[in-house]
Amino acid sequence: MAFIESTFIKEIRNIRLPLFIKLFALLLCTTIGTYGTEKVNLQSSNLSISMTNCTLKDVLKELENKSKYIFFYYDKNIDLKRKININVKNETIENILDKLFEHTDNTYSIHERQIVISKRKVVAEQNKEQTVVPAKKMLKGKVVDNLESPLPGATITIEGSTRGVTTDIDGSFSIEVTPTDKIIVQFLGMESQTITVGNQNDITIKLKEKADLLDEVTVVAFAKQRKESVIASVSTIKPSDLKVPSSNLTTSFAGRIAGLISYQRTGEPGQDNADFFIRGVTTFGKSSRANPLILIDGVEMTSDELSRLTTDDIASFSIMKDANATALYGARGANGVILVTTKEGKEGKVHVQLRLEGSYSTPTEHIKLADPVTYMRLHNEAVRTRDAMAALPYSTAKIMNTERGLDPLRYPAIDWQDMLFKNQTFNQRYNLNISGGGKVARYYIAASYSKDNGILKEDKRNNFNNNISIDKYLLRANVNVNLTKTTEAIVRLYGSFEDYSGPLDGGSALYKKAMHANPVLFQPFYPADQANEYTKHILFGNYDTGDYLNPYAEMVKGYTTRDRSNMFAQFELKQNLDFITKGLSARGLFNVSRYSLLKVNHSFKPFYYQIANTTNLNDYTLIPLNPDGGTDYLDYNKQPQTLNSTMYFEGAIQYNREFAEKHNVSGLMVYTMREYLDGNANNLQLSLPYRNIGLAGRFTYGYDKRYFLEMNFGYNGSERFAKNERFGFFPSAGLGWVVSNEKFMEPYQKFISKLKLKATYGLVGNDNIGEESDRFFYLSQVNMNDSGKGFTFGEDFNYTRNGISISRYADSNITWEVSRKMNLGFELGLWNSLEVQFDYFTEKRTNILQIRQDIPTTMGLQAQPQANIGEAKGHGIDLSVDYNKSFTKNFWAIFSGNFTYATSKYLVYEEPDYVQTPWRSRIGQKLSQRWGYVAERLFLDDEEVKNSPKQMFGEYGAGDIKYKDINGDMKIDENDQVPIGYPTTPEIIYGFGLTTGYKNFDFSFFFQGSARSSFWIDPTATAPFVSDSSLGGNNQRALLKYWADSHWSEDNRDIFALWPRLSNVANENNQQTSTWFMRDGSFLRLKSVEIGYSLPQKWIRPISLQNVRLYATGSNLLVFSKFKMWDPEMAGNGFSYPLQRVFNFGINIEF
């Protein structure tokens, strides 16, 4: 027996939410309940079909595609190759089948969705009046899965009776039946089948796995919706597409998801979170927050928690971009929402997945420094070119002896990067998850472990490891239990634990120190001389009085530990309320989270030594520089601890129902409450619990799967505002039209498989404004015991009393920041293989909190007031293209690409009156726009300096940067600053990639790109030979090779050299923000390449394995950019821990 199951058949499941407003539910259901009947007649739908010179098999397939029926037949009883010509319009299925089998020996019977085709029975005329008693027979068969593997333990029962059998170990069965019987075949985790016996004696039954609900729906705010009915702008991505050889999920975002602007500035383990924004940034201010709301299983989490998720645990990953998608979140939805749900167990036998990975990582780029000899010569030049009479730091003898390299102890030439950092490191990741369950309970449990190491070197003479070492442990358990046929309980437990050990100042700080150490004054450490033959501690090198920066000593003198724990426990209860009215359900969710971070520093004080300056090269003597200042034991320094707690409750009631096969109506009401407690508060206001409440609702209507209406609202309360501004109402609405479901589109269905138009508009609020210390804007912050405001009095001035200070004035008018969002888009499917999604969006942000700029000092205010006066506007486009095609049984390919453009500008910004210099005004300019001077070139000589407008930045001369006089007043000052370059936040992010497979091999690659952004090389951070006071002690910055190879000098007056005239002290003129050090931030990166091989089933089935896949992955392999000094994605942050290139090897095992 053969059968064809239509791929169009999809189970629509009601979305369940909790009961908390009974009155609303009863009123809603009573109102809507009159729209239609309880039962839909499947056979009432008429069909149209037109086919010429096709086989009967093709006609049956087409009928399945256009209806909800499944055909069953026995191959020997029907001529499937019989040629058919048929052309009917708007006919019932019975009329169509009558025409198909007219003048044949076949007939049919319809049983709900099943149509059984059989041979006509020939009965003698004289026996027509007699009752025929069906003869009993033995039906034999086999039950298998999609891979033709037997299913032992499947149950076969006779419909309407208690008789039944189970399959043997090989999936076979036999049961006594009559031709008119129907058998029901069931197996845990599989879709059940009902089959009419007919004249079959031997049958093979193939069961399909139960469809994943997430394949049919899109996760939206507080619920799920059928994909075709979603008109909000929601981008989803398969979790498998976010897999990268890293333990940080956020590093995979860039270029992967339309609408998400993302970039990574550092590769330091534990500090390598990517920055990401949804549709750019449309808010501003000193303490503005543009980060999206992150929800994991419905609970608000930080980007740190998101970064620690493993893709193996993620069921769905969505970003919500427009007002219709985010309005229900009210108080936090203005910047968009990232919504992640984790996996749950499914009905079926135990499924185990194990993934093991090991990877080597190395910096994508190494900063090139000038060699030590060049460093000394140009250091001398830097001193002499600024002051011809000044003493040179290095003698000719020292330079020559260093260049010869005959005595490296006395004439060191240190590459501090090579001294501190390794070329590569090895990391590991292990993930295990187990799922399964029955009809009563289902479970998903997972554990993962990752080991991330830094590229810092260790000194084996220490009994501790100063390199970065991070051990991460994740535990998760999601259990679903059907308490009754209508009640489901869900328990989710999650724990994230991290043990960090690393250098005292962190990896990026060590990179900075390595760039500020003199390479020719001393060795990192010295071998013991005769006097120190039995000295236990390390003999660290230094110079003069011992206050020079020795980055090696800074690295190995101690370590810090951070123990981080984050746990949450969640309980959810779902109740089907069909006994009240069909389609009604309720849901309640309660979550408790606890977070803690414990930090401790362990360190000793280094002993520093200097080699004695003697003429006898054989006389090796070390001079202690701080014999009483060092220690040879580890000291203990406890750091501030972090403790916080969060409690969250969510209750909802939902109605979802279809009437007369054309009207789909749903309603949703949600109440939320969140309380956050900070255990590290430093004043009374911050110590109080943070509380927010909200009420949100949604109404949707769909007609005939063609026209859709959706309305949402969020009504939220925030403790931050006074009573008159405490609650905000944020509505939204949207319309959708599925053009492809119109009758006039039927001739084009083979070409245009989907066409949907959609439009939304709405308001979203934001109360996360101002500084963290601005807890309650309507209350003043007064310090009644401020020593800074004290006074001393008395006859001998020996009495002192502290005074009173005000850091914030009460303001009852501060209110919500409001975002007005519009979205216009379409979804287009072509040839059932290509899908295009396009959105055009606009946003206007009002009530942006801004510090007042025009407050006269005569008012006597101690603190600057703030007000909701700022406004900004943004717009852009999102585009995604996906192509999925199977060319043959063994060859397939998937192409995906996306493009995001988002820009924004100031509309209202309080600033001084710039009528005379309008180019200084921010109004109409990009939000992350930089202002600076237009650098024309370098001054050729001092004569040109005298004849040019005066530059008001201290001393300057020939070879220094010459700026353009914008306003023509013959002086260069702040009035000559203009907008320069692109914004610092990229306006364009894009990505594209291909995944293909042939038989058991698969291959993929992905490119990530960024455009329309600028960054600045910081001259204060890269000026050679200059000291950085923030590092303490005596330090001298390294010389970049680029500066050494291209700089203005007396002998080479290159007015377009990369670096101006050298100097051994900071030059204020050359440190101004200008176009001279502005660089193009655009780049294209080969983000990942992966090749995999899945072992053949015939190899692994005998050992009870379902799948074994071996794979190799490369990440950050190539980058194409005009900028060559360091990785362009790091922007101006070049002197920090570099991004990493990763080579990864893994194995995935399922059984």
Are 511 and 1134 within 8 A, CB to CB? no
**CA-atom Rg of the chain in angstroms:** 36
Element (H, E) at 679: none
Which residues are paired to 2 by β-bridges? 73
150-164, 460-474, 624-638, 1112-1126: which range is least confident on average? 150-164
Q: Is the pLDDT of residue 634 over 80?
A: yes
SS3 682: coil
Q: In the block, which residue shows the tokens 């791929």? A: 7
* Model pLDDT, residue 4: 34
162-176, 356-370, 751-765: which range is least confident on average? 162-176
What is the 3-state secondary structure of 479-533? EEEECCCCEEEEEEEEEEEEEEEECCCCHHHHHHHHCCCCCCCCCCECCCCHHHC
- Tell me what the pLDDT averaged over the chain comes to: 87
- Rounded to an integer, the average pLDDT of 370-393 is 94
Counted residue by residue, the chain has a size of: 1151
Are 181 and 158 within 8 A, CB to CB? yes
| Choice between 60 and 1046, residue whose per-residue pLDDT is larger | 1046
What is the 3-state secondary structure of 4-43? ECCCCCCCCCCCCCCCCCHHHHHHHHHHHHHHCCCCCCHH
Q: Which of 590, 593, 352 lies closest to 489, judged by CA?
A: 590
285-289, 369-373, 591-595, 653-657: which range is least confident on average? 285-289
* Model pLDDT, residue 269: 92
Between CA 225 and CA 574 the distance in angstroms is 17
Query: Could you tell me the pLDDT band of residue 26, with boundaries at 50, 70 and 90?
Result: very low
pLDDT tens digits, 82-101: 888 888 888 888 878 888 88
- Rounded to an integer, the average pLDDT of 59-67 is 82
**CB-count burial class (<10 Å; 0-12, 13-18, 19+) for 161:** exposed
Range list of β-strands (E), 364-454: 425-437, 441-453
pLDDT tens digits, 459-468: 999 989 999 9
* Model pLDDT, residue 687: 86
Q: How many CB atoms lie within 10 A of CB 1120?
A: 12
pLDDT tens digits, 961-1010: 999 999 999 999 999 999 999 999 999 999 999 999 999 999 999 999 99
Q: Is the pLDDT of residue 211 over 60?
A: no
Q: How many CB atoms lie within 10 A of CB 471?
A: 13
* Model pLDDT, residue 286: 65
Q: Which residues contact 511 (CB under 8 A, 6 or more apart)?
A: 421, 1135, 1136, 1137, 1138
Between CA 723 and CA 813 the distance in angstroms is 10
The token pair at 143 is 């039950």
**CB-count burial class (<10 Å; 0-12, 13-18, 19+) for 180:** exposed
| Choice between 781 and 451, residue whose per-residue pLDDT is larger | 451
434-460 exposure pattern, b = at least 16 Cβ within 10 A, e = fewer: bbbbeeeebbbbbebebbbbbbbbebe
Query: Could you tell me the pLDDT band of residue 532, with boundaries at 50, 70 and 90?
Result: very high
- Rounded to an integer, the average pLDDT of 265-280 is 90
The domain locations on the chain are 2-206
Strands in 182-186's sheet, in edge-to-edge order, are 164-166, 155-158, 182-186, 193-196
Q: Is the pLDDT of residue 200 over 90?
A: no
- Rounded to an integer, the average pLDDT of 609-630 is 88
The token pair at 474 is 């994740």
Are 724 and 692 within 8 A, CB to CB? no
Single-letter amino acid, residue 503: P
Q: List Cα–Cα distances, 1047 to 1034, 1039, 1058, in angstroms.
A: 25, 11, 6
Quote the crossing angle between the two packed helices 396-404 and 372-386, to the nearest 10°.
160
Tell me which DSSP letter residue 626 carries. Answer: -
Query: Could you tell me the pLDDT band of residue 761, with boundaries at 50, 70 and 90?
Result: very high
Query: Could you tell me the pLDDT band of residue 328, with boundaries at 50, 70 and 90?
Result: confident
SS3 979: strand
Which residues are paired to 572 by β-bridges? 490, 589
Do β-strands 155-158 and 182-186 pair in parallel, antiparallel, or remain unpaired? Answer: antiparallel
* Model pLDDT, residue 236: 87
Q: Is the pLDDT of residue 832 over 80?
A: yes
Q: List Cα–Cα distances, 1005 to 345, 728, 892, in angstroms.
A: 31, 46, 15
Between CA 561 and CA 576 the distance in angstroms is 50
Q: Is the pLDDT of residue 122 over 80?
A: no
| Choice between 815 and 1104, residue whose per-residue pLDDT is larger | 815
850-881 exposure pattern, b = at least 16 Cβ within 10 A, e = fewer: bbeeeeeeeeeeeeeebbbbbbbbbbbbbbbb
Query: Could you tell me the pLDDT band of residue 223, with boundaries at 50, 70 and 90?
Result: low
Q: How many CB atoms lie within 10 A of CB 125?
A: 6
Percent of the chain residues topping a pLDDT of 70? 93
* Model pLDDT, residue 733: 94
* Model pLDDT, residue 17: 34
224-243 exposure pattern, b = at least 16 Cβ within 10 A, e = fewer: bbbbbbbbbbbbbbebebbb
| Range ranked top by mean pLDDT from 165-169, 211-215, 614-618, 626-630 | 626-630
Query: Could you tell me the pLDDT band of residue 212, with boundaries at 50, 70 and 90?
Result: low
pLDDT tens digits, 857-906: 888 888 888 899 999 999 999 999 999 988 888 898 999 999 999 999 99
Between CA 841 and CA 734 the distance in angstroms is 13
Q: Is the pLDDT of residue 218 over 70?
A: no
The token pair at 770 is 């101002």
Query: Could you tell me the pLDDT band of residue 235, with boundaries at 50, 70 and 90?
Result: confident
Are 492 and 342 within 8 A, CB to CB? yes
Q: Is the pLDDT of residue 214 over 70?
A: no
Q: Is the pLDDT of residue 1027 over 80?
A: yes
52-66 exposure pattern, b = at least 16 Cβ within 10 A, e = fewer: eeeebbebbebbbeb
Element (H, E) at 213: none
- Rounded to an integer, the average pLDDT of 934-939 is 96
Which residues are paired to 384 by β-bridges? none
Q: Is the pLDDT of residue 377 over 60?
A: yes
Between CA 1091 and CA 1002 the distance in angstroms is 6
22-26, 95-99, 320-324, 728-732: which range is least confident on average? 22-26
Q: Is the pLDDT of residue 2 over 60?
A: no
Are 109 and 98 within 8 A, CB to CB? no
Cα 1136 from chain centroid?
Answer: 23
Q: Is the pLDDT of residue 1148 over 90?
A: yes
Are 250 and 321 within 8 A, CB to CB? no
Task: Tell me the CATH number for domain 2-206.
Answer: 2.60.40.1120
Between CA 9 and CA 430 the distance in angstroms is 38
Q: Which of 1131, 1134, 919 lies closest to 1013, judged by CA?
A: 1131
Tell me which DSSP letter residue 107 carries. Answer: E
Q: Is the pLDDT of residue 39 over 50?
A: no
| Choice between 993 and 233, residue whose per-residue pLDDT is larger | 993
Query: Could you tell me the pLDDT band of residue 217, with boundaries at 50, 70 and 90?
Result: low
* Model pLDDT, residue 24: 34
pLDDT tens digits, 396-410: 999 999 999 988 999
**Residue 165 region, left (φ>0) first, then alpha (ψ -120 to 50), else beta?**
beta
The token pair at 1135 is 């002197």
Q: In the block, which residue shows the tokens 């994605």? A: 1129
**Residue 76 region, left (φ>0) first, then alpha (ψ -120 to 50), else beta?**
alpha
What is the 3-state secondary structure of 887-953? CCCCEEEEEEEEEEEEEEEEEECCCCCCCCCHHHCCECCECCCEEEECEEEECCCHHHHHCCCEECC
SS3 331: helix
* Model pLDDT, residue 68: 74
Q: Is the pLDDT of residue 931 over 70?
A: yes
| Range ranked top by mean pLDDT from 244-253, 566-575, 720-729, 848-857 | 566-575
- Rounded to an integer, the average pLDDT of 836-841 is 95
Question: What own/partner pairs with CB < 8 Å and gap ≥ 24 does 168-172 have?
Answer: 170/142, 171/142, 171/143, 171/144, 172/140, 172/141, 172/142
Q: Is the pLDDT of residue 755 over 50?
A: yes
* Model pLDDT, residue 760: 95
Are 229 and 664 within 8 A, CB to CB? yes
Which residues are paired to 204 by β-bridges? 142
Q: Which residues contact 748 (CB under 8 A, 6 or more apart)?
A: none
Between CA 319 and CA 279 the distance in angstroms is 10
State phi, psi for 931 to the nearest 5 degrees.
Answer: -105, 140
Query: Could you tell me the pLDDT band of residue 446, with boundaries at 50, 70 and 90?
Result: very high
Between CA 712 and CA 732 the distance in angstroms is 5
* Model pLDDT, residue 57: 83
Tell me which DSSP letter residue 1070 carries. Answer: G
- Rounded to an integer, the average pLDDT of 293-298 is 90
